[in-house]
Structure 1
Amino acid sequence: MPPFISFLHTSPVHVASFARLLDAQAPGKVAEHHVDEALLAAAQQAGADEAVLDRRVNEAMTAAAASGAAVVVCTCSTIGAAAERTPTGGRFTAMRVDRAMADAAVLAGPRILMVAALASTLAPTTRLLRESAAALGRPLQLQSLLAEAAWTHFQHGDHAAYINAIASSVTAATPTADVIVLAQASMAPAAQALQALGVPVLSSPSLGVARALAQLQAR
């Protein structure tokens, strides 16, 4: 079997969207999808830096590679750092889906508006953007915006209302930024709704899949 990618999601809604993205970028490429909703719930309760959470995420990443995946991509920004820290023993590459987005954002900056719908995503994505800025030698002027009203819509399965709430929050904030970052993979459709702002809007799924395919090619 040729090398393949395995995705670790914390919501089943991501399975179809990432399958579509992969098929668009690499038609016919085989992939696996694993869903563990409890990981996000644990991160919200315990904090994304807890050792117990790290162990659970590492175990989930390793399990996602069990059938031979060469690259395992965590699509949840809240637990992305723990996913990247997974000890792989060289058996597979452990990735977080939003690192490619962060790198692109700091190259487009320096003024970045980071938008999240879930409070537990703010700190991990802030650290990620600072890491990317340091690694690429770029200045960073970071603002954050929490679209507090949006997440309830996501939990209730009303994705149209979720995206509308995110777009409304960003528009109301009248951002003065060089680039807007949508911190969660589920927020990606809001990029189209924000085109009228005339500011580049980045989301993680497409950029993350492209980087995963590059990693797959490199192995």
Structure 2
Amino acid sequence: MKDALAFLHTAQVHVPTFERLVRENAPALRVRHVVREELLADARVTGVDDADLIARVNEAMHEAAAGGAKVVVCTCSTIGATAERTPSGDAFRALRIDRAMADKAVRTGPRVLIAAALESTLAPTKALILSAAQNAGIAVQPALLFVEDAWPHFEAGAHARYIETLAGAIRAAAIEADVVVLAQASMAPVADTLADLGIDVLSSPAPGTAHAVTLALSLSPT
């Protein structure tokens, strides 16, 4: 039996998260996960416009679709725009996990605070927010927050400390924001930590997965 949906991740830790989110939406859906950690590592060095990196991201998206998936989602915001542009013909639909989040963010308020633990994620996410705003005919004022001291905790497997560091920095910076965008999928738990902030704190995994599942079901044979 063919896959219906596939994910391209740049960290193994994301696999159980997205598997759970898919099961919450469609328990019987066949899903494939491909992990290519080196793509994020290389993007941080070469930049996302490097021709070799683009070719390898496209290759990884096709690898994820090899089981027959009609929808392939990249869960890494740094390379998401590249993945979304993967030439696939009619073989599959290439998506980025954070587009649904961006569409909601620009409709929530004009002052959008984009927070990230990786500097390489900020520019692609800002471009996504501006694109979503343009598509919606809405003017936005994106601001960027780079929490530089958070990522080493993630790399060390100290996830509680990672979330705590991010939450503290975002809480201090969000005073003049209408909405906070958590630019990386790994940051999703920060939304619960900041539930008392008084403004929406948006993460990408849940809305992005829900959209992908809906699309996969619509494209799969009944």
CA distance in 1, matches of 2:185, 2:175: 21
Per-residue deviation, 1:52: 1.5
CA contact under 8 A between 1:151 and 1:162: conserved in structure 2?
A: yes
Partner of 1:211 in structure 2?
211
1:141–1:212 distance in 2 versus 1, CA, 3 Å: same
Partner of 2:111 in structure 1?
111
CA distance in 2, matches of 1:188, 1:209: 13
Q: What RMSD in Å do the two structures reach over aligned CA positions?
A: 1.1
Per-residue deviation, 1:116: 0.4
Identity %: 54
CA contact under 8 A between 1:191 and 1:202: conserved in structure 2?
A: yes
Per-residue deviation, 1:175: 2.5
1:176 counterpart = 2:176 = yes
| Worse overlay, 180-189 or 135-144 | 135-144
CA distance in 1, matches of 2:129, 2:76: 15
CA distance in 1, matches of 2:10, 2:174: 31
Partner of 2:17 in structure 1?
17
CA distance in 2, matches of 1:171, 1:89: 44
CA contact under 8 A between 1:3 and 1:216: conserved in structure 2?
A: no
CA deviations on 1:181-201 (whole Å, 9 max, x unpaired) are: 000000000000011111111
**In the TM superposition, what are the counterparts of 1:1-219 in structure 2 within 5 Å?**
1=1, 4-219=4-219
CA deviations on 1:66-100 (whole Å, 9 max, x unpaired) are: 11011000000000011011010110000000011
CA contact under 8 A between 2:4 and 2:217: conserved in structure 1?
A: no
CA distance in 2, matches of 1:139, 1:207: 23
CA distance in 2, matches of 1:84, 1:5: 15
CA contact under 8 A between 2:106 and 2:132: conserved in structure 1?
A: yes
Secondary structure of the corresponding residue to residue 72 of structure 2: strand
Secondary structure of the corresponding residue to residue 8 of structure 1: strand
Runs of 5+ unmatched residues, structure 2: none
Tell me the matched-pair count.
219
TM-score normalised over the length of structure 1: 0.97
CA contact under 8 A between 1:113 and 1:175: conserved in structure 2?
A: no
CA contact under 8 A between 1:78 and 1:120: conserved in structure 2?
A: yes
CA deviations on 1:144-192 (whole Å, 9 max, x unpaired) are: 1111111000000110000000001111224221111000000000000
Runs of 5+ unmatched residues, structure 1: none
1:101–1:212 distance in 2 versus 1, CA, 3 Å: same
TM-score normalised over the length of structure 2: 0.96
CA distance in 1, matches of 2:97, 2:66: 19
